[in-house]
Amino acid sequence: ELTRVTYFGSAGLNAVLSCFERGRDQGVVVRVVADNPEVMRPIEVTKLDKVLRTYPTVAAATAADAGPQ
């Protein structure tokens, strides 16, 4: 849940990607909750939006479990 993050640089990207990879390796779906440009822009510029599941709210991320994936 990154909606309050005001700076998201390479260390943040690496931490989220590492979390995603560990989750994937263990069969866990990792979702990123963020709608702020400080977080979304670096994710989009690095094309990680093609890999990471991003949602604007925690409710939207948890609701994603309700349907088929």
- The string of pLDDT tens digits covering residues 41-64 is 999 999 999 999 999 999 999 998
Where on the phi/psi map is residue 35: left (φ > 0), alpha (ψ -120 to 50), or beta?
A: alpha
Residue 67 has pLDDT above 80, yes or no: no
**In the prediction, which pLDDT does 64 show?**
84
The Cα 28–Cα 59 span in angstroms is: 18
- Report the candidate in 14, 25, 16, 11 with the shortest Cα–Cα distance to residue 54: 16
- Report the candidate in 53, 59, 1, 50 with the shortest Cα–Cα distance to residue 30: 53
**In the prediction, which pLDDT does 33 show?**
97
At 16 the three-state DSSP class reads helix
Amino acid 54 reads: T
pTM for the structure as a whole:
0.82
**In the prediction, which pLDDT does 28 show?**
92
Average of per-residue pLDDT across 24-50: 95
